[in-house]
Amino acid sequence: MKEGQPTTIYLQDYAAPAYRVDAVSLVFELGEASTRVTSVANYRREPGVAADTPLELYGEALELLEVRLNGLPLSETDYSISDTGMSVHNVSALCTLEIVTRIYPQKNTSLEGLYQTSGNFCTQCEAQGFRKITYYPDRPDVMTVFTTQILADKQKYPVLLSNGNLTGSGDLPDGRHWARWEDPFHKPAYLFALVAGNLQHVEDHYTTLSGRDVTLRIYTEAHNIDKCDHAMQSLKRAMSWDEQRFGLEYDLDIYMVVAVDDFNMGAMENKGLNVFNSKLVFASPATATDMDYVNIEAVIGHEYFHNWTGNRVTCRDWFQLSLKEGLTVFRDQEFTSDLHSRPVKRIEDVRALRTFQFAEDASPMAHPIRPASYMEINNFYTVTVYEKGAEVVRMYQTLLGRDGFRKGMDLYFERHDGQAVATENFLAAMADANEADLSQFQRWYDQAGTPQVAVRMDYDAAAQRCTLHFSQSCPATPEADNKLPFLIPVAIGLLDGKGQDLIGTQVLRLTDTEQSFTFDKVPEQPVPSLLRDFSAPVKLNFPYAEADLVFLMKHDSDAFNRWDAGQRLAMQTILTLLAAHQQQEAFGLEHDFISAYQAILTDDALDRALRAAALQLPSEADIAEVARPSDPEAIHAVREFIYTTLAKALRLDLERLYAELHEEGEYSPDATSIGRRSLKNVCLAYLGRIQDDGIHEACLQQYLAAGNMTDAMAALAVLSSIECPQREQALQHFHDRWQHDSLVMDKWFALQATSSLPDTLQQVQALMQHKLFDMRNPNKVRALVGSFAMRNPLHFHAQDGSGYAFLTERVLELDAMNPQIASRMVRPLMNWRQYEPVRSALMKAQLERIQAHSGLSGDVNEIVSKSLV
Ligand code: B3K
Ligand code: ZN
């Protein structure tokens, strides 16, 4: 079906299922060559459905061995089979269908369905992997109770796991053993999971608010068992946080997490049996960075929070994906904010949103958070559905307040627990619980593109009146040229000349294309602080003078806007320098710009993590978004010029601060320690821009002496872009020290792929031959190929097209093994239209080359064909 004839699925075609499943019972006989799956499902025709309606089941790449209806074998005329499924004709209103299929998990390189990783069995069923296991109504609105029996060789696979509670186990005479799991909660097939292997576990317990004991287990291969403590503590924090903040308790007696090395994404929230990419479980000070620690806690939280937002209340169809993902990302962001620094978390999230989601919204793949159509649903697990979806959920809270939001959540669960619903149901619960009219808010679900808000300010000194004039617009995107105005909450404040709030934070509700808001009793011309805490996912423009931005950097009471003023100032400066660079004019930095940076660097009263964030310039990708048509080489040169000039001008302050922040003692991933390390390492990154053997030596010393991976990696990252003997020494040392640990070696691959040194592509090509590199392992592909294509714009966009050709070859190679990963990797070519003509043509040519490739997967085909429209 996928090859050659891509089909598009439309939201408007949604039809409720004709048959429901009362219960399903599965038996897996796991073997070395193949696995036999027996499924017995009780179907019930929905009231009002015509008696001659066939029973439609999905199934892909299955070998059908037996099929029986109500105990009797079906003749070939009673059912029909296609590449995508099975239709059973003439079924009674209540019937039992027994299906036996054979599958080949050992040959499954797509990592979807049942597959093997490090010799163990595991599953990934979201979105549509269950249909690679057996014929079934594999759609999220068909929910039922599952019983799963697993039979396997006892020595090779001593641990047999599935969803729910263990209700039986035993030995078989032939050296095999079995286990039976029953999940009392109704669930769709995408939440099914099975794991069988040689695994160890750590165990802990959690007592819920209502006093129930829950067993918590993390399973892993033996050699990583000592790195699970942080994940376990994170899980307990998540369980407690969800009780406190949302009144939500866990509902089964056991919660299991299994860490696997081969996984297409971060983790999966299967009911009671999460499967995790090992990268998001294992942590020790020596092997994991601060960022790893924080991410592990966030993703452990995210998957746990899905138990209510995703599992108890699930999606009616896959168009509703943001119903569970946007909401659950919002919940994990709040979890991290409550436990660590709220402003730092907000800055990081907005930075990622602007870099990746704004780019997607401006690309040929732009889609609303609730898309209206798709070809391959796996392509829609996007930053738009997830991160913009979370911003949309956050706006409810901004509009309704925390209490109002909580009331809406309570009503949502009260109405929909146990159901598969649509985003409209969430909106209705928020509106009804607060007696609010949120009908205009629906447009955030239906319209793609990043809205632009332009603001002007009038001040009437005689009347002491200040007026803010807003106008909103939204660029055309593939689904629509013309957009209706959004309901945009704009949080603002007005500052006086001393930096005090004349008007404290207020949330203005922008509903029209043009709208003005007047503030009386404003005794002096204020400086406006706009879109505080990034109250809506929009681009806001105000004609700020540089002096205003420097003022806001110093005085804004909103920490996010202090940071954002710095980013605006940096971007304005970068654009000015880029223009000069293109005219081949000489350029330099204004004294005021340097002193603004010096003020941040030396402001000891300011939180260190915030200082570290403020000292970082917009990324090359962010600049490429704004400076069109983009020339990545010029962008790199200008950005490096600013870093180097600042480093030379502020060298003494940087060195002093670096020395001051040096720490001894035990590693701790708390917010204060993370802030200290990040500021210290930002100083080192600045200093590394100065060509000086003493600094290279200091980097090497930090690397060698580091008591934790954060400091080691920070030093190595600086060295990786400098041609010096210390670079080779440190890289070799890292290799020799960590070559036994595949996960840690991903960092080594990624560092080299993001180097700015001229021979980086050759290095990347050579590293593909390294004995630890494996194209079948998604983490390795992301570390080497992904880092090069997505985090090294200088070399990926080499003007000779070598980076594009390299990526194309990898995409084609990957597509034959793992279409989901290939389809992720091809995306850097998608925005070809934004680049200057030479690069643009080269990128387009590679997309055409991919499109012409025979046997291309539906996954890659969708991205490429939409990019070329
Ligand atoms: N729900 C999964 C993602 C599944 C992706 C399938 N292609 C992880 C998460 O968002 O929690
Ligand atoms: Zn999720």
Ligand nearest to the CA of 859: 1
Same domain, 6 and 100: yes
User: What CA–CA distances, in Å, run from 324 to 115, 328, 401, 405, 597?
Assistant: 26, 6, 21, 16, 41
Q: Looking at residue 5, what is its pLDDT?
A: 63
815 lies in some domain? no
* Distance between Cα 512 and ligand 1 center (Å): 36
CB-CB contact of 22 with 147 (8 Å): no
Return the best residue to mutate from 115, 125, 263, 269 for the ligand 1 pocket (most ligand atoms within 8 A of CB): 269
Closest alpha carbon to 492 in 467, 513, 512, 475 = 467
Rounded alpha-carbon distances, angstroms, from residue 599 to 565, 611, 739: 14, 10, 43
What rounded mean pLDDT belongs to the chain?
97
303 CA from centroid of ligand 2 (Å): 6
Are the C-beta atoms of 250 and 307 separated by less than 8 Å?
yes
| Same domain for 23 and 7 | yes
Q: How far is the CA of 324 from the centre of ligand 1 (A)?
A: 10
By C-alpha distance, which of 194, 58, 174 is closest to 116?
194
| Minimum CA distance residue for ligand 1 atom 5 | 126
Could you tell me the CA-to-CA distances from 145 to 40, 164, 419 in Å, in that order? 12, 10, 13
- Choose which residue among 122, 268, 322, 821 to substitute to test ligand 1 binding: the one with the highest number of ligand atoms within 8 A of its C-beta: 268
The pLDDT of residue 3? 43
The C-alpha atoms of residue 717 and residue 679 are separated, in whole angstroms, by 15
510 three-state secondary structure: strand
Tokens of 658: 């670096």
Q: Is 644 left (phi over 0), alpha (psi -120 to 50) or beta?
A: alpha
Condensed to tens digits (0 to 9), the pLDDT of residues 738-750 reads 999 999 999 999 9
Whole-Å CA distances, 142 to 15, 165, 314: 12, 21, 10
Q: Give the domain-ending residue among 672, 707, 726.
A: 726
Residue 285 domain-assigned (yes or no):
no
CA of 599 to the centre of ligand 1 (A): 43
CATH number of the CATH domain containing 106: 2.60.40.1730
Mean pLDDT of 477-481: 95
> Residue 439 Cα, ligand 2 centroid: separation in angstroms?
26
Question: Same domain, yes or no, for 341 and 395?
Answer: yes
Q: Do 546 and 528 share a domain, yes or no? A: no
Supply the pLDDT for residue 725.
Answer: 98
Give distance in angstroms: CA of 774 to centre of ligand 2: 27
Alpha carbon nearest to ligand 1 atom 1, residue: 268
Do strands 420-421 and 314-315 pair parallel, antiparallel, or not at all (unpaired)?
parallel
Dihedral sign from CA coordinates of 656, 659, 660, 661? positive
**Nearest residue (CA) to ligand 1, atom 3:** 268
- CA-nearest residue, atom 7 of ligand 1: 378
Could you tell me if residue 296 is inside a domain? no
**pLDDT surpassing 60 at residue 323:** yes
Given a cut of 90, is residue 6 above it in pLDDT?
no
- With beta carbons less than 8 A apart as the criterion, state whether 568 and 576 touch: no
Q: Are residues 46 and 144 located together in one domain of the fold? A: yes
Q: Whose CA is nearest to atom 8 of ligand 1?
A: 268
Pocket probe for ligand 1: among 381, 383, 820, the residue whose CB has the most ligand atoms within 8 Å is 381
State the pairing for strand pair 527-530/514-519.
unpaired
Q: Tell me the whole-structure pTM to 2 decimals.
A: 0.98
Q: Is 2 a residue whose pLDDT tops 80?
A: no
Examine the pLDDT at 200 and tell me if it is beyond 90. Answer: yes
Same domain, 569 and 507: no
Q: Could you confirm whether 249 is annotated as catalytic? A: no
Nearest to 143 by CA among 91, 101, 192, 83: 192
Residue 27 lies in a domain: yes
Residues 479 and 592 in one domain: no
Q: Give 269 Cα–ligand 2 centroid separation in angstroms.
A: 7
Q: Which of 726, 749, 768 is the last residue of a domain?
A: 726
pLDDT digits (tens, 9 = 90+) for 602-632: 999 999 999 999 999 999 999 999 999 999 9
Q: What is the pLDDT of residue 587?
A: 87
Strands of 452-460's sheet in order across:
514-519, 465-473, 452-460, 539-541
Query: Which of 509, 535, 561 is the last residue before a domain boundary?
Result: 535
Q: Which ligand number lies closest to the CA of residue 376?
A: 1
| Contact yes or no for 91/43 (Cβ under 8 A) | yes
pLDDT single digits (tens) 254-292? 999 999 999 999 999 999 999 999 999 999 999 999 999
At residue 446, φ and ψ (nearest 5 deg) are -105, -20
Same domain, 55 and 82: yes
Ligand 2: centre distance to CA 83 (Å): 29
Phi, psi of 643 (to 5 degrees): -60, -45
Point out the ligand nearest to the CA of residue 300. 1
Q: Which of 221, 303, 360, 376 is catalytic?
A: 303
711, part of any domain: yes
Please tell me whether residues 517 and 553 are part of one structural domain. Answer: no
Query: Quick one: which atom of ligand 1 is closest to the CA of 386?
Result: 10
Specify the residue for token string 């003007």. Answer: 799
Q: Which residues form the pocket of ligand 1, taking CB atoms under 6 Å from any ligand atom? A: 126-127, 265, 267-269, 302-303, 306, 325, 378, 381
CA distance 146 to 189: 9
Ligand 1 closest atom vs CA 127 = 6
Residue 372 CA, ligand 1 centroid: distance in Å:
20
Instruction: Count how many domains the chain has.
Output: 4
Closest listed residue to residue 364, CA positions, set 474, 451, 479, 446? 479
Which mutation among 110, 191, 265, 325 tests ligand 1's pocket best, with the greatest number of atoms within 8 A of CB? 265
User: What pLDDT is recorded for position 663?
Assistant: 82
**674 and 629 assigned to the same domain:** no
Separation of CA 280 and ligand 1 centre (Å): 14
Asked if residue 687 and residue 589 are part of one domain, the reply reads no
Q: Which residue's CA lies nearest to atom 2 of ligand 1?
A: 268
Following CA atoms 86, 91, 94, 100 in sequence, which dihedral angle do they give, to the nearest 10 degrees? -40
389 contact partners, CB below 8 Å, separation of at least 6: 322, 325, 326, 327, 329, 330, 369
**Residue 290 to residue 675: CA distance in whole angstroms:** 10
Q: Are residues 625 and 670 in the same domain?
A: no
H or E stretch covering 746: helix 742-753
Task: Give the C-alpha separation, 362 to 350, whole Å.
Answer: 17
pLDDT, mean of residues 418-427:
99
Find the domain containing 624 and state its range: 542-649
Two tokens at 6?
């891509």
Nearest residue (by CA) to ligand 1, atom 9, is 268
CA dist 8 and 375 (Å) reads: 5
Q: Which tens digits make up the pLDDT trace of 641-682?
A: 999 999 999 999 999 999 999 888 899 999 999 999 999 999
Instruction: Tell which one of 275, 296, 325 to mutate to probe ligand 1, the residue whose CB is within 8 A of the most ligand atoms.
Output: 325
CA distance 231 to 336: 14
Residue 306 CA: nearest ligand 1 atom is 11
How many CB atoms within 10 Å of residue 77? 8
Q: Is residue 739 part of a domain?
A: no
pLDDT surpassing 80 at residue 347: yes
The DSSP bridge partners found for residue 28 are 37, 150
Q: Residue 219: enclosing H or E segment and its boundaries?
A: strand 213-220
User: What is the pLDDT at residue 402?
Assistant: 98
Q: Report yes or no on 33 lying in a domain.
A: yes
Q: For residue 473, what is the domain's CATH number?
A: 1.10.390.10
Strand 72-73, strand 63-69: pairing: antiparallel
Distance from the CA of 309 to the center of ligand 2, in angstroms?
A: 9
Tokens of 249: 């308790």
The answer to whether residue 221 is domain-embedded is no
Q: Whose CA is nearest to atom 4 of ligand 1?
A: 126
